[in-house]
Structure 1
Amino acid sequence: MSKLFGSSPAKTGGSVDTLIGRQTEILGDVRFAGGLHIDGKIKGKVDSSGDKNSSLSVSESGCIEGDVRVPNIVLNGQVVGDVHAAGKITLAARARVVGNVYYRILEMEGGAAVNGQLVHETGDGHATPALQNSGDDNTDELREARRLKGL
């Protein structure tokens, strides 16, 4: 089955139970268990229904317009919305995220882009933005990060 989708199970995080094809557009939320591969477009939330072993892979032709909550994600397409990965997220070279990325383990290839915050979440429920104070108080990014954090 992995040859059909052009990637190995090791890259997608597991087997693919559901495929959304390139010519398919779904309007509405998607809940799934197991493995989901997206070559098409979803306009709605994508949620793995509490299955801690679920995985999502989005090819470079895939697009999601809505929040994503899946433990394991391999993204090479586009997401417009916040992404929550309780396990591991891999942002491949053509990945584009317009929104915040909440992660435990992050792998990011050169060329991937996130227009939002990278927020590391620990197992105890705490989250820390990846942007930290480097001692230079004059950058717009640091001022904006402090404003958002209430500092």
Structure 2
Amino acid sequence: MWGGKKKTGATRVDTLIGKDASIRGNLQFTGGLHIDGQVEGNVLASDTDSAALVLSEGGRINGEVHAPIMMLNGTVEGDVYASEHLELAANARICGDVYYNLLEMAVGAEVNGKLVHRKGGKPQLEDQRAQFVNNDVGSDAAP
């Protein structure tokens, strides 16, 4: 997307979170999600085949991110799970571990955490999705 070559078919935007919008809580989406604003919570793609997340330069996510296709140019404070394709643009900043199948990283992008390659990421995304759905974020009980 940023490199001028269209490598994925994930340009459709079904949901837009504007630059002045702020969401607190977990966000589950299908189709294409474009974030220009802030999300305080986990972001999860319900559709594990074609869902795509675009995080713009001014966008910020404080929580885990799970989606098959991601194009990140903003800040993520949390682990990132991309089962198909992850593209980190020049202004991408990730403070957390990155689990990926295919990774593109532009000069200037920053990852402060581990890079973990996972082949055939769809089943792992399904496992992460189940863990995400069963996880009670507000619970004080021990796991």
Instruction: Name the TM-score, length of structure 2 as normaliser.
Output: 0.78
For the residues of structure 1 that align with 2:36 and 2:13, how far apart are their CA atoms? Answer: 12
Q: 1:73 matched to which residue of 2?
A: 70
Query: Corresponding residue for 1:142?
Result: none
Match of 2:136 in 1: none
Instruction: Report Cα offsets for 1:52-111 as digits up to 9, x if no partner.
Output: 100000000000000000000000000000000000000000000000000000000000
Contact 1:103 1:120 in 2 (8 A): yes
Residues 100 and 121 in structure 2, CA contact (< 8 A), matched pair in contact too: no
Matched residue, 2:104: 107
Question: In the alignment, what sits opposite 1:96?
Answer: 93
Write out the 4+ residue segments of structure 1 that deviate beyond 3 Å after TM superposition.
7-12
Report the number of matched residues. Answer: 120
1:119 to 116, 120, 133: 116
| CA distance, structure 2, for counterparts of residue 63 and residue 124 of structure 1 | 24
* CA-CA distance at 1:50 after TM superposition: 3.8
What RMSD in Å do the two structures reach over aligned CA positions? Answer: 2.3
Q: Distance in 1 between matches of 2:31 and 2:120?
A: 22
Q: What residue in structure 2 maps to residue 60 of structure 1?
A: 57
SS in 2 for 1:71: strand
Unaligned runs of 5+ in 1: 1-6, 128-151
* Contact in 2 for aligned 1:12/1:73 (Cα 8 Å): no
Larger radius of gyration: 1
List alignment gaps of at least 5 residues for structure 2.
125-143
Distance 2:89 2:109 in 1: 6
CA separation of 1:13 and 1:100: change in aligned 2, threshold 3 A: same
Task: Give, as a single letter, the amino acid of the residue that structure 2 aligns with 1:76.
Answer: N
Residues 10-54 of structure 1: CA distance to partner in whole angstroms, max 9, x if unpaired? 678220000000000000000000000000000000000143100
TM-score (norm 1): 0.74
* 1:46 to 2:43 alignment: yes
What SS is found at the alignment partner of 1:42? strand
Name the CA shift for 1:25/1:108 in 2 (closer, same or farther; >3 Å).
same
Counterparts of 1:90 and 1:12, CA distance in 2: 13
Identity among equivalent positions (%) equals 47
